[in-house]
Structures are given as C-alpha cells and as structure tokens.
Structure 1
Amino acid sequence: MKKTLTASAAIVALIIAAPYSAAIAQDAPDQAGQADQQEAAPRRLPSVSVTARKTSEDIQDVPLSVSAFDAEAIADFGFTDSLAIDDQVPNLEIKTFGGNPNIFIRGVGNNDFNATTVSPVSIYSDDVLQGLTGGQMMQMFDLERVEVLRGPQGTLFGRNTTGGAINFHSRKPGNTQEGYVRMGIGSYNRTELEAAATVIAVDGKLATRFAGKMVSDDGDRRNLYNGERANATDLASVRAITRYTPNDDVEVLWNIHYGKDRSDYQQGKPVGVINGGNVLGYVDPVPNDAKYINVNRTDNRHHADTWGTNLAVTWDFGDYTLKSVTGYEDVETDYLGDIDQSPLSLDELRFQQDGDQISQEFNLSYDGGGDLTWISGVYFLKEDFHYRTSGPLFGDVPSATLPLDAQSQRDTKTYAIYGEASYQLTDAFSITGGLRYTSEEKDATLDSLLTYGAFGTQPAGLTVPLIPETNRSDEWDAWSGRVLAKYEFGADSMVYGSISRGFRSGGYNLGAFFDPNEFTKVDPEYLTSYELGLKTTILDDRLRANMAVFRYDYTDLQVFTFTQGSSTANPIVIALENAADAEVSGFEGEFTAVPVDGMNLSLGIGYLDANYENYMSLIAGDLSGNRLPGAPEWNINFAGQQDFTIADRWVVTPRLEYVFVDQRYFDPNELEAISSGGSHELLNARLSIAPEEGGWEVALWAKNIGDEQYVVDAADLTATFGFIPTYYGPRESWGLEARIEF
C-alpha cells in the first residue's frame, strides 16, 4: 500500500505542477458580475448531450431509452468504478462472482462466473469496445459523462448488444489550462487520491489532459481465521489524452491508459452449512453476520494489469464528417480465491486471464441541415484470449484431491458494415431505419488435466487428461437493425416507437472441466424489441420525465447453468446451452425536477416481467416459467439535495439517496436458497460546503447507512461440496473528501 501511495503522490505532484510549468497567465473573470447573473437567473435543469447514435445530441432529442450522468452527477453520486452505477439506473443490474462482472439490462445479461463467455451487454470506453472481461471493471475518474443504452443496439454498436451498451467518456483537454485535486479518507482505513490537469503546448492547437486516481483500504470484513481485515482494495489508474487540432475541420485524439489492481479476492460466506456442515462437517460459527468470514487462504488476490491506447481522428468537410477510431487493449489478470469460504481446503482455485484485442472503425455521417441525415460505417475486431483455471478440488477430503488444470484459448475475428438514416417527414414527425451485417470467425481450444495423484491412486507427477486438447472452429453471420418513428409535440416533448433486432454471437462452453461432452457449441441468440417511449420537459424547464414500455421476444438465448455430476471423477457438470426462448416486458421511468431554486430531485423506477417460456435444460430439466437471472421485478432509486446559502458566501448542500431492489435470482434454476434472500434497501447521504464562487469543496459522505446485509451473487454447489458460496454487498462506510480546483 505504501508503494502505491508513493507512486500516486508522485503522479499527483506532476499533474499539479504541469499547468504552472507552461507559465501562461490568464485573466480572472469578473466573479462579482457572474454572481449577480446567477442570483438573477432561476436555476433550470441542465441539458445533457449524449452520443447514443454516434453523433452528439441532447438526450431529450434521442428516441431511445438512455440514462446519462454528467461530471457533476458522477461527483454527487460518488461513483468510484464502472460497477457502481447500477443502483441509480432503472433495470440495470451488475454483479460479480470470482472477480468477473455480470451485467444485465432489462433482464438480459450473462450469469456465467467464468470469464470465457461473452456478455450481451457491451462496455465502451471512449468509443472503444472493452470486450475482454477483465478490462470491464474500470475506475471512474475525470469523466465527462456515462451513458447507459437500453435494448438492442444492433445497428450502430453491433454484436453482443442484445441487452444494451454502457459508454464511458473521458474528459478531453480543452483550450483552458486548468485542473483539480481530490483527496479523501474513510472507513476501514480508506485513502483516495485523484487529480487531473490540462496542459496546453500550443495555444489552440495542441493540449494534453493528464489524470490519475488511487484508492486503497484494509477491507470491510473480518477474517476469524487470523483476526485480520479481509477484502482489501488497492487500485491505481492513470490516463493521458492528447488533442491536436491543426485547423477548425480536423481533430485528433490520442488516448493512452493503464490500470493496476492489487486488491484481495472478495470472500463471502458458505451459506447452507448451518446445520450438519459441508462435506467435511464445517459449520459457519456466525452464519447470520456478513461482517465476518472464516477462510484459511490468507493470500487471496484479485490482481489485474490493463493498458490500452486508441486514436480517434475526426474530419469535417462540408456537410460530411469522417471519423476513424483505432483501439488496442491488453488485459492480464490473476485471481486466487478460497471458493469454499471456510478454514478447510475444498475448493481453492486460481483464475488467470491473458488477452488482447485490436479494433478499427470508420464511419461517415451526413447532415446538410435539411430533412435527411445518415451515418454509415465499417468495423473490424480481432481478439485473442487465454484463460486458465487451476488448483486442488476436495483438498482436505482423504484420497480424493482433484488437482485441476484447465486451459482454454479463444481467437475471434469480426467484420461488420452498417448504415442508418433519418428523414424528417414533417416539422414534427420523423422516421429512422438502420441495418447492419456482421460476420464472425471463432477458433477455440480446450484441455483439462489432473496434474498429480488423483484419488490417491496415480503416481505423483502423472498427468491424467480429463479433456484432451480439443479444437473447434466456426463462422456465423447475422443481420441486425431497427426502425423507429418520432413525433414531437409542444415545445419540448416527444413520443417514439421502435422495433429493433440484436444478436449475441455464437461461441463455446470454455468453462468445462471434467467431461469432453461439455465442450459444446452455442448458436447465436436473437432478441426483437418493441418499445414505446415518452420524453418531456415542462414547467419552464423545471420538470423532466422520460418513460418507456417494452416487450422482448428472446430466442435461442445462451444460458449458463451447472449441476451435480455423475461420479467423483466428474463432480460438476457445467453447461452453456441455448434455451428455447423467453419473454421479457416492463417499463422504466426517470424523473428529474427543480421544484424551487437550489433544490434537485430525481426518481427512477424500473419494472420487469422476465421468464423463460420454453426451456428444457439438458442437465437441469424443465426450467420453463422460471425467472431470468439478474431481473428483479421492481427497482427504485431516489436522490434529493438542497443548496443553502450561508452568510451570502457559503453554499451548504445536504443530499440523500435511497435505493430499493426487489428479490432477484442468480441462477436459471430459480432455487430459493440462492435468491437474494428478498429485497434490499440502501440509504446514502452526503453533506458538502463550498464558496459561492467555487474553487474548492469539502464533503462528508456515508453509504449503506444502517449496514444492510444483502447478497450480490451466489452459486449452488450444495450437491457437490455441500455449500453455496455467497457474496455480499459493501458494508456501511463513511468518508471525508476535499476537492481543490486550479
């Protein structure tokens, strides 16, 4: 931790010093005049620009279901990483098992705890796909905005967006030399340091924005095995974006970034071993208190190194804009976890990822100021991914140790061409149509070995192949797209309707360990969405309401499940299979209001009815009618804050947030034992003080007030190991932070 603090302090020192090294003096604005203007003008809802259709638009003009957070909202909510936004977005669910994120939008997602299955929700950072699972858990710092696009995005974003897409946009360097430093302390010995600065090399032509962040804590759990803290955090990230504008028509953005994670592997509790214990008789001494864990593996680790670079070139010529985005990402992870979550050795595994990807996109858009606008493009992606699972199963079971070593390799090439056009039929009515063709090639290799002494019968050092090295290769192609209509009425209101189709590419069950027959191919899944929406801003820009209702026809969806095997040599059967179909329907509502000057209120409501219609699992039987994983029936979020001016000088802002998430399941078997244990509620608060003219802010914050214990992920291993590994959400925490702008 000391090394991380030292390195981060050095980074921050460089960032702080950078603007002054250029020795460029700038005139200060007339702060008194600005204060008079602010006092005279009532506060209204700010506009938010998004690029949900790959062109910049006000979110209220986009006929899609989109949630967005600008830099101010990100700071108010205290988002720290890419997984933290789910509580504040209706019908978005994010969970982790074994360090790998599982993301669901409107009940569409991936519940595989392995990193080998591609998610139907795509993550983008600065217009570059983050296709490698280990690279999707990013720290959030110095961001311009975050966008969550619900529903199939098959036209402009392509494959693997049947659920939707999440876009993170970093703050770019501007024409002003400025920056900030944010420091914080908190519960569990938490320290946080974040800084950013824009350095201008050539005025109006060349500038670079440097940003960095580090977070560390000792962990919010106590390990009864050794009496020490557990689930510690140790993260550090840096980023530099250079902007070159040789003239008014050309912009070049070069982004290079690096992230390091030296945290603990998150440990939970072995639910299901209260009475009688697991297969070795272990009984959890504090089964109802998630503050405590009891694991013998004290070197648990969640280590990751990610880096990447991308180059975006935009050229405006007349009514046309040509854009090129070239990206490279590299991810290496090393996770070591005590999966049995006990002081015994039953299931202690190491998970390693090593992958890289290169992508290239060209798009050409047209906007002549008339009735017709369009965009077209081509896309290429090459991805190489290696995954290894190793470690002893049944380690403390006499003469039954299974020293597993399973490795898989997946190589992917994707080609696509797309186009979308919008036409304004009247001043109020417009239509849009888009189509995309995708071709994909995949090569996969899998092998699994017992490396020594299986069942106490093999000579030490002998390798026993469970799955001999097996190769598979396939190609898929698919069409996706959408049609939509938009009707505007009043000054700032519209209704829209859309039909869209998306697909998730085919693949293989690379999580198989014991049986060659489990190394199966899955076909692409398809989703057709029907959506109606309303967006309106009324009451003199004091109330904004965005609502959508939808229905999904979901066919051949890819489902991950597992059950008990038929013998000791095959203790777990892992399956990735195509379910027949499912039906999902629901709605979202997002409401933002400024009832009086200085007050901001927001409310989000999501509802889902998501069930398998016809699903006869090859290993789990008839699952028809079961609820989809990651699909709580109701989810609600609320936030409210009020600015109070003290002595005509200080602005004090108390803020309160409330989150409700209904019961949801983590497995298609819909077993009650691994449900969330019912709904949960969270309460967060923040209190800040800043001068009216800005420049600095100090804030106190608290999260999960009342220390609600709630499950964020689980898996049923009772048939094999006699327990359910269960992971809990973050505990109650508080902190103090200060931000200084320069």
Structure 2
Amino acid sequence: MRIKAALALGSSLAIAYGSPALAQASSDAATNRAPQAEEIGSSSEIIVTARRREESLSRVPISVSAFSQESLNNKSVTSIAQVAQSTPGLTFGNSGGTTNPQVVIRGQSRANIGDAAQPVLTYFQDVPLPYIASIIPTYDLASLQVLKGPQGTLFGRNSTSGALLVYSKEPTYNLEGYLMGGYGNYDRRQAEGAINVPIIDGKLALRVAGQRIKRDGYTKVVNQGGLRRDDINDTAFRISLLAEPTDFIRNVTVFDYFKMNRSGDGGILNYVYPDPIPERNPGLNTFYDCGTSPDCDIDLALARQQAAGPRKTYSNEVHQIKALVTGLSNTTTVNLGSITLKNIFGLRLAKSSTTNDSDATTMKLIVADQNQNIKQTSDEFQIQGDFFDHKLSTILGAFYLKSKPNGPQGLTLATFYSLASPSVIMAHRTQTSKALFGQATYDFSDLVQGLKLDLGVRHTWDETQACAGGYPANNPFVPKSTPQTTLAQCVNGTSLTVNGTPTFVKGALTEDKSAAWTWNVGLNYQASDAIFLYATLRRGYRSGGVNAPLFNPLAPNSLAPFQSYAPETVTDIELGAKTHWQVAGMRGTLNLDVFRGRYKGSQRGINGLNGFDGDGNSSNDPSAGTIIVNAGNATVQGFDIDATISPTGGLTIGGFASYNDAKYTSTGIPPLFNTPTFAAFPTTTKDTAFPYAPALTLGANVTYEAMLPDDLGSLVFNADVFRSSRVYFGPFKNDKTLSQAAYAVVNTRIDWRDIGGSSVDVGFFARNLFNKLYRAGAANSASSAGFNSVFYAEPRMYGVDVKISF
C-alpha cells in the first residue's frame, strides 16, 4: 500500500467511525509514578507511559493496549502470556520454554534458542529485562502496557516490533493492603498479599507484596511412575520504597525476587517424517528401526504416544526447570519547573537451569541441558523539558546496558543420534549497548487547532563478544554431570577430566559490532473531542551478533560464513484513529490502526544443525544446534481494531480483531540449508512461515456488574472469547504437522465483592471453560531431525479465591 493511499484510508476510517464523545483530560506532566491503567470502557481516565510521560491513552499517537490489576483479575490472568488472549496483535510462543518465552508482535519473534536481540522487549519499572528468565508475575501491578511497532527513540533498548511495559504498585501514604488465598483443580494453591506502610507522612513509605503458587502438572510421564510435568511451583515478592525528601525530588526503589522450581514442560512426540524422502534426513529410521520395541524404534514410539493421548508422555530423563531472578530498580526524578531530570538504574541477575527431553521418547534423541547465569546492569538518564507555554515538549536521553556472565554460563547438549557422541558447547557472552536519543513534540494549535508534530532520533552502538569452545560430554550422557568451564578457562584454555580422560579445551573469541541511526516522524490531530488521528513513520533496528563456537572453515558444509549475522532494520508506517462517543445514555470507544513494515536482514533461527558440517567433530557444532542468520527481506502489514460499548450502567461489551499479512519478499537463505538429504529452512519466500504469528486473531468480552439489595455487595460477571487462525511453530508453511489449526477458547469469572458491606471478595473462575485441546508450541521444531514434538496448552483450569482488603 502506498503511503498516500494508506494515509487517506486511515483518515477516512477514522471519520467514518467518529461520533460525539466525552472529552477526557490529558496529563503531560513528566513523572515516574506508576501509571494506574483502568479498564477499557470505564469512566475513569486511562493513563499510559508509552512516551515516557503520563498521557491519556485516547490521545497517544501509538498503538497501545493497557491493563490495570483489576482488569487482569477480572480475566483471571495469572501470567503475562495469558494477556495475549485479550490483546489485538500480541501472541506468545512456547518453544523457548517456560523460562524463556517468545513475545510476538507484528509477525516478529526471537529464535527459540540463543541470546539474539529481541524484537519485542519486556520492561519492568522501565528497566529492560534480559533475554533469559524475562518473567514478571502479574500480582500487585499498577499497569501492564503493550506497545506495538518499532521502539527506541524515546527509551531503553531498540526493538523492531514492540515492547511490554510492566509497573508494580508504588507505595502510598496510607496504611492499607490485602490478603488473598485460592484453590483450584490440579491441587492449585495460591497465596498472595501486600501491605503498604507510611513511615514518614509525605516523605517516606514502604510497600511489601508477595505471591506463592503451587499446582500439579497436567501431563503424566507414564514410564516414570506417573510423574507430572507442566506444573507450577513459584515464589515471588517485591519490596518498594518511596522517598520524597523535598517537594521536587522523588525516588522509588524496587527490589523484586522470583524463584521457579518446576518439573519441566511436557513435550509430546507428534510426528515422524517419512523416510527416506528428498526433503528430510533419512538417518533417523536407520538408527532407530529395531522393529521390536518403542524403546528402540521411532515408529513404534509414535504409535505408543498416539494411543496414550496428548496428556501423557514418555521420557528417559528427569526434567527440571529452575530459575532465580532478582532485580533492583531505582528511579530518581528531580522537578526543576520547566525542566525535569530523571535517572533509571537497573540491576538484573538471572539464573536458569533446565533439562529438557525434547524428543519425548524413551530414546536419547535430543536432550538439552542448559545452564545460564547472567548479570545485567543498565542506566538511563533523561532531561525532559516543557517550553513556550506548553507548546514544546522535549526529551533528551542517554542509555547504557551491559550483560555478562555471572559465573559459569553455557549449554550442554546431547546430539540428535546415539551414534554421535554428545558434546558440550560453552558460550560466555558479553553484550554492551550504548545510545543517545531525543524527541520533541510541538503543538501547532495556533495554526491548526489540535495539530502536533513529533520528531525523534536515536543513535545506538552495540557490541557482542563471545568466548566459546566445545569438548566431549559424558557418554552415555548424564545431565548436570559434565564438567563446565569458567570464563577464564574458556579464554586461556584448560584441561578437564571427562570420563576419566583429560580433555583439552581452548576457547575461541569471536566478536561483532554494529551501530545504527533510528528515527520517528509523526503527526497527530485532535479533530474533535471525539476523534484523535495520528500518522507515524519510524525506523527500527535490532543489533547483529555472533554464533558460537568457532566453526570449522574446512568442513564439507562449513558454517564459517555464518559466524556472525548483521543487524535487522525496519521502516514502518502506522496510521491510527481513537474515538469515544456517547449517545442516548450509551457510551463506547473505537480504536483502529493500520500498519506496514518493511524488514531488511530479517533475523531467523535455523535449528537442527548438529553434525551438519560433516567434519565428524561435534565440538565445533553450533551451540544447541542453532544459528541465527539474516533470512532476507520481509513485509508485514495489517490492522488492529478494538471497540467497546456500554449500553447501560454496569454492562460493557467489547471486541477486537487483528490481521497480520507477513511474507518474505526476498530470501537470504542459501540452498546449503535445504538439500536432498537435509532440510532446515525453506529456500523460497512463498514456503516460509512466520512462527507464532497467526494471520487473524479475534476476541470478545462481556463484563456486567450488578448491585445487590440490602448492602449485600455486588456481583461482577466477566466472559472472554479468543480465536486464533492457524499458528505455525516452524519455518515451513507446507508442514501442517508442526502447527496448530484455528481454535477458540472461552474464559469466565464471577466475583461477589464487598460481601455484606465488608471488605471481603470471593471469586470463581474457569479458564479454557470448554476444555479445548490445542497445541501451544513445539518442543522440537527442527524437522531435519526426522521428527517433531509439541507442547499442549493448559486444559480447563478452575477454582475459587478469597480476598480481604484493609
């Protein structure tokens, strides 16, 4: 779509849907207060911080979805991933595992393994989270905001397709809090609470909140005594301190802690590719074709799995998923009148240890044993200005981030076939990102009432260094038992004893540097109290990086040309309209955006490359059998639309639709990765799928609140319906076995609030009410291995919780 045509379309749609509405005041005050988002359709103002200052959602020139803690509770949301069923254009991928979820907006996702830059970043208290264990529990939140499109000229790290902003509730000067307990099926037990303590009125306040959730798994491991996977065993707490020593200095410090100790994700053997055929590797059935037992025959293993059904699995390993994440954020704001100084410091420690039997059989096909431990430090300084009687608003900033190993860090991987020796690939990475950015907004209301212009620019410098080496693992492979190198040993080389034999390890240092200018140009127009229009043109950037370890340049199928990969860039145009209306006592909203992004050097992961180079040396195979490559150029275009209507007091009906047309326009994948005996990635644009990016998602919601007589309280009913078109888990469009066909789920909840005039609430909930069976992702998406395996989403989950506020 040409730019002029797109502008005309966006404007006409906005005018067509516009009608009189209640005017809502917008606050442009620069602040670090956590925004208190309200439910769509409520009479309260919806405040967001998409542009690093508090603004009305209805007047922000960017596509944003916002949720308050109340709206999350109404939908029984217990994880950020569940927000996707209430947000147009947002999906979550499960291939990265529980501790490493993939956030997908506008067709862009990160490789399921490795530490490539993320196209969608998650922020907590304005601090970007690391690429591993980027998990934020959804308790005691002030708001959760979903930003769509390239981000970077205003804050934090670059991202090419969006950001999630999560803010916890800040301390207040009131003594208050709550306690909540819940119980549900699969023996789900949940305890949660918060207390707010004013220490010095108007000067110092403390808030402490925490959550504990434990639930049995819903996938049984048949050959391990019925051990359950897909369980929950999480502990989290936050301590927040507010200090306002003067009337112009404000400081908020938040310490957060999250610990996960689960039995792992329940993979299910899903499909064995015909063998031999030209598109697949014929080796699998050669090695596992005993014809006598599913313990040594892949076809018999698949038949056994199909007979057992999707909630039962088989395995030769004991899974585990352990994560410990701690963080410290400190935000200081100094208000000097027309100038505001703001500094955001962040420290994130993320430690993850997982053992995953990706093949989901009693044979040792793929067993990944991953240990990661990183320390990330970041700081962002802003100077915000407000000049010429509020006509000019500016922000200038500098950003710095460094991520490095925090002790032994690496990956242990057993190779695909038992005839090849398992190996350990250690990859100690240090990443540094620096940036200068600025944006200005000028109000041209003296010329055209309601017209504003936005101009933003950013320059970023990124650097990645990786010291990586490989050596044989224990054979037979025993997770957690293979010696690991330290960073110093990787650099200098060392001798480790493996199976009683000294093994020399010499690390190889690789590095990559990239830099880019990004920018934003936008116009927004408050056409009337009812209609807000905007158009924005943006340039986004995702840094390049390195693949590890050092590849053999003399191998028959050498991967040396792919030792590093280049940055990904996007030029994006977005047109939007936000409207509010009120007619005959009814009120409603309608928001629409249309977009088109052109991606160059699209970064994609290629899986299943163990043994690919053909040199017979597993120690120089790619870490986890995966490399990141620049797959070519792509175009993503579509629209998001959401609307609400409140026909009577207490009743709100809403809905949304999101359409994404994502396709490659050229390919950078050489035929090397798709040969008669090996297929890891399509070589034609028409055959290439965008993982976890459905073309169409739809949603609908009904909320009704009724007051009960005789001060008995109120009843609140909430129901959500979500539908997704087909979702691909791998890169091949013609591989329907590695996908999920269109599906729909229904979630419901009913609350009895303020029972008998007290501060007690009781809620009953059911997620996936009709127990829809659908796949959530791939455990093994490397179809070149000769098989694939999948994860299934949660079955029906129901329960009750009781909350006491004080």
Scaled by the length of structure 2, the TM-score of the pair is: 0.82
SS in 2 for 1:109: coil
Residues 522 and 534, structure 2, Cα contact 8 Å, conserved in 1: yes
For the pair 1:383 / 2:403, whether they are aligned, the reply is yes
Separation in 2, partners of 1:521, 1:391 = 21
Deviation of the 1:211 alpha carbon: 0.5
The percentage of aligned residue pairs carrying the same residue is 26
Go from structure 1 to structure 2 and tell me whether the alpha carbon gap of 1:52 and 1:741 turns closer, same or farther (over 3 Å shift): same
Richer in strand (by share): 1
CA contact (8 A) 1:413 1:440 kept: yes
Q: In the TM superposition, what whole-angstrom CA distance separates every residue of 1:204-246 from its partner, at most 9, and x where no partner exists?
A: 1100110000111111122221223322210000100100111
The reply on whether 1:354 has 2:409 as its aligned counterpart is: no
Aligned partners of 1:260, 1:318: CA distance in 2, in Å? 42
Say if 2:472 and 2:498, in contact at 8 Å, map to a contact too.
no
Whether the 8 Å contact between 1:450 and 1:463 is mirrored in structure 2 is no
Contact 1:512 1:575 in 2 (8 A): no
C-alpha deviations, 1:441-463, integer Å up to 9, x for none? 221122122135699xx995447
Aligned partners of 2:716, 2:261: CA distance in 1, in Å? 35
* 2:316 is equivalent to residue 264 of structure 1: no
Match of 1:438 in 2: 460
The yes-or-no answer on 1:526 pairing with 2:572 is: no
Query: Is the alpha carbon distance of 1:585 and 1:617 closer, same or farther for their aligned partners in structure 2, counting shifts above 3 Å?
Result: same
Is the counterpart of residue 296 in structure 1 residue 311 in structure 2?
no
The question of whether the paired residues in 2 share the 8 Å contact of 1:417 and 1:437 is answered with yes
For 1:17, the equivalent position in structure 2 comes to none
The aligned amino acid for 1:56 is: E
Contact 2:115/2:131 (CA < 8 Å) preserved in 1?
A: no
User: Paired residue for 1:517?
Assistant: 559
- Pick the aligned partner of 2:211 from 210, 213, 230: 213
Q: Which amino acid aligns with 2:460?
A: T
Say whether 1:55 aligns with 2:98.
no
Per the alignment, residue 311 of structure 1 pairs with: 330
Deviation at 1:694, TM superposition (A): 6.3
Measured in 2, the distance between the counterparts of 1:553 and 1:161 equals 14
Can you list the C-alpha shifts for 1:439-497, whole angstroms capped at 9, x where unaligned? 12221122122135699xx99544778x9622112322111110100111221321110
Specify whether residues 425 and 194 from structure 1 end up closer, same or farther in structure 2 by C-alpha distance, changes over 3 A only.
same
> 1:285 is paired with a residue of what secondary structure?
helix
Match of 1:101 in 2: 101
Structure 1 residue 646 and structure 2 residue 708: aligned?
Answer: yes
User: Would you say the 8 A contact 2:75–2:718 is kept in 1?
Assistant: no
Contact 2:464 2:511 in 1 (8 A): yes
- Alpha-carbon separation, structure 2, partners of 1:671 and 1:305: 39
The separation in 2 between residues aligned to 1:517 and 1:391, in whole angstroms, is 19
Alpha-carbon distance change, 511 to 655 in structure 1, aligned in 2, over 3 angstroms? farther
Cα distance in 2 for partners of 1:133, 1:497 equals: 35
Q: Distance in 1 between matches of 2:551 and 2:410?
A: 11
User: Does the aligned pair in 1 maintain the 2:370–2:413 contact within 8 Å?
Assistant: no
Amino acid at match of 2:599: Y
Per the TM alignment, residue 510 of structure 1 is displaced from its structure 2 partner at its CA by: 3.7
Letter of the 2:574 counterpart: E
Question: Contact between 1:676 and 1:710, CA under 8 Å: does it hold in 2?
Answer: no
Once the 2 structures are TM-superposed, how far is the Cα of residue 645 of structure 1 from its aligned partner?
Answer: 2.4
Contact 1:585 1:610 in 2 (8 A): yes
Matched residue type, 2:196: T
| d(CA) in 1 for partners of 2:771, 2:549 | 35
- The answer (yes or no) to whether the contact 1:520–1:576 under 8 Å persists in 2 is no
Moved more, 443-452 or 581-590: 443-452
The one-letter code matched in structure 2 to 1:738 is: V
Q: Distance in 1 between matches of 2:644 and 2:371?
A: 43
Match of 2:535 in 1: 497
Per the alignment, residue 19 of structure 1 pairs with: none
Residue by residue over 1:602-635, the C-alpha shift from the partner in whole angstroms, topping out at 9 and shown as x without a partner, is 2121001001111141323523122322221100
User: Which residue of the partner structure matches residue 231 of structure 2?
Assistant: 232
For residues 185-218 of structure 1, what are the alpha-carbon distances to aligned partners after superposition, in whole Å with 9 as ceiling and x for unaligned? 1111100111011011111110011000011111
Q: Establish whether residue 344 from structure 1 lines up as the match of residue 363 from structure 2.
A: yes
- What secondary structure does 2:316 align onto? coil
Q: Indicate yes or no: 2:242 matched with 1:243.
A: yes
- Select 2:694's aligned residue among 632, 636, 653: 632
Q: Structure 1 residues 224 and 262 mapped into 2: Cα distance closer, same or farther (>3 Å)?
A: same
- The one-letter amino acid paired with 1:521 is S
What CA distance in whole angstroms lies between the structure 1 residues aligned with 2:650 and 2:341? 42
Within-5 A mapping of 1:725-736: 725-736=789-800
Contact 1:274–1:287 (8 Å) recurs in 2: no
* Distance 1:459-1:103 versus aligned 2 partners, 3 A rule: closer
- The one-letter code matched in structure 1 to 2:781 is D
Q: What do you get for the CA RMSD once the two structures are aligned? A: 2.5
In 2: Cα distance, 1:186 partner to 1:512 partner: 50
How many Å separate the matches in 2 of 1:656 and 1:513?
53
1:255-293 Cα offsets, whole Å, 9 max, x none, are 111111001210220111499996331234242732212
The corresponding residue for 1:577 is: 629
Are 1:740 and 2:804 an aligned pair?
Answer: yes
Corresponding residue to 2:766 among 693, 698, 702: 702
Match of 2:591 in 1: 546
Aligned to 2:781: 716
Partners of 1:316 and 1:484 lie apart in 2 by: 27
Quote the residue 1:374 is aligned against. Answer: 394
Provide closer, same or farther for how the CA distance between residues 695 and 474 of structure 1 changes in structure 2, counting only shifts above 3 A. same
Matched, 1:283 2:302: yes
For 1:394-439, what per-residue CA distance to the aligned partner results, in whole angstroms no more than 9, with x for missing partners? 57x4xx2522211101112221111100111122111110001111
- 1:117-266 mapped onto 2 (5 Å cutoff): 117-134=116-133, 136-157=134-155, 159-225=157-223, 226-266=225-265
Counterparts of 1:556 and 1:611 in 2: how far apart (Å)? 13
Q: Deviations over 1:658-677 (max 9, x none)?
A: 01011121222334244423
Alpha-carbon distance in 2 for matches of 1:296, 1:611: 39
SS at structure 1 position matched to 2:727: coil
Question: How far apart, in 2, do the equivalents of 1:593 and 1:264 lie?
Answer: 44
Looking at both structures, which has the greater relative contact order when contacts are Cα pairs under 8 Å and sequence separation is at least 6?
Answer: 2
1:78 match: 76
Report the CA distance shift for 1:703/1:512 in structure 2 as closer, same or farther (over 3 A).
Answer: farther
1:24-35 equivalences under 5 Å are: none
Structure 1 pair 228–512 and aligned structure 2 pair: CA distance change class (3 A): farther
Q: Which residue of 1 aligns with 2:19?
A: none
Equivalent residue for 1:3?
A: none
Relative distance call for 1:332 and 1:651 in structure 2 (3 A) is same
- Contact preservation (8 Å) 1:663, 1:675: no
Give the 3 Å change call, closer, same or farther, for CA 704–372 of structure 1 in structure 2. same
User: What is residue 586 of structure 1 aligned with on the other side?
Assistant: 638
Unaligned runs of 5+ in 1: 1-42
Could you tell me whether the CA contact under 8 Å between 2:654 and 2:701 is conserved in 1? Answer: yes
Contact 1:710 1:728 in 2 (8 A): yes
Q: Is the 8 A contact 1:707 1:731 kept in 2?
A: yes
What is the Cα deviation at residue 101 of structure 1?
1.1
1:436/1:718 Cα in 2 relative to 1: closer, same or farther (>3 Å)? closer
1:623 matched to 2:623? The reply is no
Residue identity opposite 2:521 in structure 1: V
Q: Is the contact between residue 89 and residue 659 of structure 2 (CA under 8 Å) also seen in structure 1?
A: yes
Partners of 1:531 and 1:358 in 2: CA distance? 33
CA contact (8 A) 1:331 1:356 kept: yes
Check the 8 A contact 2:153/2:520 in 1, yes or no: yes
Whether the aligned pair in 2 keeps the contact of 1:674 and 1:716 (CA below 8 Å) is: no
Residues of 1 paired with 2:189 and 2:166: CA distance?
24
Deviation at 1:45, TM superposition (A): 3.2
Count of residues paired in the alignment: 690
Match of 1:29 in 2: none
- Distance 1:54-1:674 versus aligned 2 partners, 3 A rule: farther
**Paired position in structure 2 for 1:602:** 654
Shifted more, 151-160 versus 513-522: the winner is: 513-522
Q: Alignment partner of 1:252: what SS?
A: strand
Q: Which runs of 5+ in 2 are unaligned?
A: 1-40, 276-283, 289-295, 478-496, 674-680
